[in-house]
Structure 1
């Protein structure tokens, strides 16, 4: 656990320096059979490219609010860390706040929430959430297709101004956290769950609450561990769920 990192992006930098080859995020979609595993290095590369897209083509600035109308997914995790790197406040989808997109400066949407995302008057980005990060067969009107825009972005990210640990970084379920507060809570959650470097945990929670975000990304990252995201695990039988946990060596 890195004691000096003050932002989620700094936690990722520390993980990259410590062991770039170890797994960080593994994602299962039990509706399609997809399994994706990203090492720290691969995940960090996606984050750098996405942060460059945010800062460059989308002209996002520190303090902007970005609505994330996405489920718990490996690409959502990438966007959360890219927002941290660029100093943008991530606002994950909240079922209790139907106007989340209208109040945001930018919006990132999955295929099921495009109508809601159109309430945003700023830049709109759409993710197909298809296996292997594939493009939309036909790009949605009024949206950038993430899978088209991100591959050509740079593999290293340099913010125009360093992210401020005391600036808002996350707004979720009616609560707002600075980057430093987010990291402190993630560290506390990691300790309460007895997560340590190398720990591997499984989460079935969504990303629309702090509990889901912590279990599914921030606490494992703070601990130097990894997470297996299984949002559709309840579609498996009890024996299949046990096998998944055994195969993935999760606590």
Structure 2
């Protein structure tokens, strides 16, 4: 079972329509809310793109040069659906997924597979003027199927994050959820960056492991966080 299945399947069985990820960008005023079903749909589309278009196979390596964003969550889960390992260093990756500001950095790593660029646009607009060979994620992902069926099972000892096996990462995420007091009734407000294994485990994976709901705020306006906490009916802060 992939790490994605370990995290998402229990949520899809228990509360498929409940908000799973609510994303704010205080710099742009963006707010988007995804249920568990919608999240799984995006994950499936992204996984099909990575496998069928990018030839990402089990054991392949992916690096992400992306902020903490709802689309980042979906491509992380998509990579794990494919049985890939997420690595910190772009130079160690077969594929690098990046935002528009870091395309040059991604290309400089010269990944063996290639580079996919995400616009992170709220309306799904793609990127113009991309260098030759760079995949425009927003334009391509919508062409792929809404369901993903892996060609082969993902072994529990397959590396998922910087060498850590998926089974161990799932267990650590559950342990962190318990330490944070998270449960399926929790709604967590977070401004964490996901830029390290600790941040990613604390700010995303623990929430999913608990079956909780995440309110992720990018470019946070500190004067508005208390109001968000109240209006979104949050129960804890990360």
TM-score, structure 2 as length reference: 0.93
Tell me the alpha carbon deviations over residues 96-150 of structure 1, each in whole angstroms, 9 at most, x when there is no partner. Answer: xxxx222211110101111110022322100011223321143443311001111
Confirm whether residue 109 of structure 1 aligns to residue 98 of structure 2: yes
Q: 1:159 to 1:193 in 2, by over 3 A?
A: same
In the TM superposition, what is the alpha-carbon distance from 1:237 to its structure 2 partner?
A: 4.2
In the TM superposition, what is the alpha-carbon distance from 1:76 to its structure 2 partner?
A: 0.5
Alignment of 1:167-246 (within 5 A): 167-171=158-162, 176-233=163-220, 236-238=221-223, 240-246=224-230
Alignment of 1:26-37 (within 5 A): 26-37=22-33
Runs (5+) with no aligned partner, structure 2? none
TM-score, structure 1 as length reference: 0.88
In the TM superposition, what is the alpha-carbon distance from 1:208 to its structure 2 partner?
A: 1.3
Counterpart of 1:95 in structure 2 is none
Counterpart of 2:140 in structure 1 is 149
The number of aligned residues is 233
Tell me the alpha carbon deviations over residues 197-216 of structure 1, each in whole angstroms, 9 at most, x when there is no partner. Answer: 12100111111112321233
Runs (5+) with no aligned partner, structure 1? 93-99
Aligned CA RMSD, in angstroms, stands at 1.5
* 1:76 aligned residue (72, 76, 82): 72
Alignment of 1:7-156 (within 5 A): 7-92=3-88, 100-118=89-107, 119=109, 120-156=111-147
Structure whose residues are more often helix by fraction: 2
